[in-house]
Amino acid sequence: SFDLTQPPSVSVSPGQTARITCSSDALSRQYTYWFQQKPGQAPVLVIYKDTERPSGIPERFSGSSSGTTVTLTISGVQAEDEADYYCQSADNSATYVFGTGTKVTVL
C-alpha cells in the first residue's frame, strides 16, 4: 500500500485560485481522482483520471499531473466551493487509497 499526502488546509479569497496538491511516488504510475465533500453530505467526484471533469462539474475545477504530484485547481473560487477535498488512487493489486484530505476555506 502507499500514502497520499495532502496539505491539511488551504485558505483563499473569493475569486482567487485555490491549488490542492496530492503527492506519492505511486502517482507517476496510476490515475488520480478528486472528491469534494461538504458537511453532512456524501463525496462528489470532481476530477477523474488526473485531468478529466465529469459532466455537471463547473469548469473552474481542473486537474493536472506532474511526476509524483497531482494538483486540483479551483479557479475563481466561490463561497460554495468551501468543502473538504480528497484525492484517491489505486495500486496494481486494486488496493485503493484516499488522501489525507484538505479543508478549503473561502475567506
Partner 1 sequence: QVQLLQSGAEVKKAGASVKVSCHVSGNTLTELSILWVRQAPGKGLEWVGHVEAENGEAIYAQKFQGRVTMTEDTSTDTAYMELSSLRSEDTAIYYCATRTAYNAFDLWGQGTMVTVSS
Give yes or no for residue 7 binding partner 1 (CB under 8 A).
Answer: no
Give yes or no for residue 92 binding partner 1 (CB under 8 A).
Answer: no
From residue 54, alpha-carbon distances to 41, 61, 70, 79 in Å are 18, 10, 17, 21
| C-alpha–C-alpha distance, residues 19 and 32, integer Å | 15
Give yes or no for residue 43 binding partner 1 (CB under 8 A).
Answer: yes
**Residue 62 or 98 having the CB closest to partner 1:** 98
Piece of 15-23, 41-49, 63-71, 75-83 that binds partner 1 (CB under 8 A):
41-49
Query: CA geometry: angle at 65 spanning 64 and 70, to 5°?
Result: 90
**How many residues sit close enough to partner 1 to count as binding (CB under 8 A)?**
25
Give yes or no for residue 100 binding partner 1 (CB under 8 A).
Answer: yes
Nearest to 41 by CA among 1, 105, 86, 99: 86
Give yes or no for residue 45 binding partner 1 (CB under 8 A).
Answer: yes
